Amino acid sequence: MNYRRFKKQIESLIPDVKKFSFSLARDDEQSNDLAQQSLVMALSKSDQFKDNSNLKSWLFRIVYTTWIDMTRKNRTITNYKNTIHESHPGNDGNRHTISSLNTYIDCKKLLNLLADKQKASFHLVCIEGYTYSEAAKILGIPVGTVASQVSLSRCRFNQYFSKERRPGKTKWRELI
């Protein structure tokens, strides 16, 4: 594949990369950094992409491995930033509407219920619509691990909704 065509295909996937980056990082600044680093990495490694491969899966794999690297390098700084960000008084009102379900979900709180490994599996399977085997290839882990992580994620969300039932709320299983 020529570089110009490759670059155009990568550009068409930028919104997906940004969504996946945010689901991993849970912070606008960090997710933007992750998306940018991943896109630069993908463009610099264009010669490693095989024409018969799924570009989106290949790109998500780069995002995931870049995120792991960033997390390892910046563990202390990230924890410090998250502590400051979460303790800021103006951050408790961030509610997002899922209008088709008439439900309000505190997205940050829900994502914080999940372990970091579960977030990636959950995002790929439940949000992006990948099969368990496709998600396993992207993340480089066994299919059973992906299935287990998605199941654990759903259980955590069900526990959350059981404890904090409000009018208009529904169980997470019903949302997926």
Domains annotated on the chain, with CATH? 1-92 (1.10.1740.10), 94-176 (1.10.10.10)
Q: What's the rounded mean pLDDT across residues 96-121?
A: 60
Q: What is the pTM of this model?
A: 0.54
User: Angle 28-44/14-25 helices, nearest 10 degrees?
Assistant: 130
> Is 168's pLDDT higher than 70?
no
Q: What's the rounded mean pLDDT across residues 17-26?
A: 90
**% of the chain exceeding 90 in pLDDT:** 23
- pLDDT band at residue 62 using 50, 70 and 90 as cut-offs: very high
The tens digit of pLDDT for each residue in 65-83 reads: 998 888 766 654 444 445 4
What distance in Å separates the CA atoms of residue 94 and residue 106, rounded to the nearest whole number?
7
> Is 8's pLDDT higher than 90?
yes
Q: At residue 45, what are phi and psi to the nearest 5 degrees?
A: -110, 25
**% of the chain exceeding 70 in pLDDT:** 68
Amino acid at 74: N
Residues written for the chain: 176
